[in-house]
Structure 1
């Protein structure tokens, strides 16, 4: 499998995340939701993610973070996001883009609206627009590891390996147990070391 395909599949998984909750995930999400505010829950989860060294446990924490990000606090925005996800799955990109534009207009500080539009632009090959949306995601939530993975993938495909390396380093500072990110960082370090000799 080519590195661009690996990066693309990693990007899609990182940016989109898993839409379905398993029973165990639901109970963990329920326990986390007992904390006071979404901001407080995210702070707690990011602390756990940074400390966790076991990849499977870290993945569970990352899924709980994604669940927190998905809830906009608005029933209308949440519904538009569901419709956009279904349109993306059905390869109806223009419809999905229209819905995500509406999400952003209705809720410009909702991080997942920008993130999903970045993912869609990436899938459509609009890397400049995807990178612009990624920058908006990171302005709202600098710890958005999915957006950092997307940024690293775009930078790698553009041949900007040193910048991609920095994006992976930022990703791993937030989510140290992610094996795919560790592999991508290692490959870039080897490539850059080879270029310097």
Structure 2
């Protein structure tokens, strides 16, 4: 909500003198007039507010915009050094230099051990290194720090599916939809997987 300061209007005083009709009275010095106050910038939405909006999104496009904002929040650690190292890890990952990516993220986690996004990113690298056990461990660490990390839940679902643990995969995917009901790809998986797991204990 924006607030505006009230603007004082200065009235002009006309002298009741015959000469006043011939010589118009100049207004007082412009410097005496208070300039209009600038509106306060809007307060950024909190993560709680963004997740509430995500859960109520009416379209996939709207949900995608909100989820992007959430991911941007996730990607900021509060440490410029940690942020830079994770960015370099991402560059190494893009070049498929996975050992370097792991090394850089290890340094990130030494600085920011409670950064869920760093655990999630390292899990992604471990998965590319064909180490699903380490990947799953890191995903659980990420979710312990931030239980609403929908990308981590999606990653868990993929790992469970790869190991043919359809029940746990379905549980993970449903956690994603609970946070983002408009996630169409995950909805498709749940729609297909649900009947196969029906009747089994999750």
Instruction: Normalising by structure 2, report the TM-score.
Output: 0.76
Q: Are the aligned partners of 1:168 and 1:185 in contact in 2 as well (CA < 8 Å)?
A: yes
Q: Paired residue for 1:97?
A: 102
Q: Paired residue for 1:127?
A: 132
- CA distance in structure 2 between the partners assigned to 1:189 and 1:62 by the alignment: 25
- Structure 1 position 185 matched with structure 2 position 190: yes
Q: Paired residue for 2:169?
A: 164
Give the secondary-structure state (helix, strand or coil) at the position aligned to 1:189.
helix
Which among 79, 83, 96 is matched to residue 88 of structure 2? 83
- CA distance in structure 2 between the partners assigned to 1:158 and 1:100 by the alignment: 26
- CA distance in structure 2 between the partners assigned to 1:154 and 1:127 by the alignment: 7
Q: Are the aligned partners of 1:53 and 1:176 in contact in 2 as well (CA < 8 Å)?
A: no
Bigger relative contact order (CA 8 A; separation at least 6): 1
Deviation at 1:191, TM superposition (A): 2.4
1:3-49 deviations in Å (ceiling 9; x for gaps): xxxxxxxxxxxxxxxxxxxxxxxxxxxx88x33xxxx6111100000
Which ranges in structure 1 are unaligned for 5 or more consecutive residues? 1-30
Give the secondary-structure state (helix, strand or coil) at the position aligned to 1:136.
helix
Work out which of the two has the higher radius of gyration on C-alpha atoms and give 1 or 2: 2
Q: How many residues align?
A: 160
Q: Paired residue for 1:149?
A: 154
Give the secondary-structure state (helix, strand or coil) at the position aligned to 2:130.
coil
Deviating 4+ runs (over 3 angstroms): none
Which ranges in structure 2 are unaligned for 5 or more consecutive residues? 1-40
Deviation at 1:194, TM superposition (A): 9.9
Deviation at 1:105, TM superposition (A): 1.0
* Cα RMSD for the two superposed structures: 1.7
Give the secondary-structure state (helix, strand or coil) at the position aligned to 1:108.
coil
Per the alignment, do residues 137 and 163 of structure 1 end up closer, same or farther by CA in structure 2, a change over 3 Å counting? same
Q: Paired residue for 1:106?
A: 111
Q: Are the aligned partners of 1:169 and 1:185 in contact in 2 as well (CA < 8 Å)?
A: yes
Q: Paired residue for 1:26?
A: none
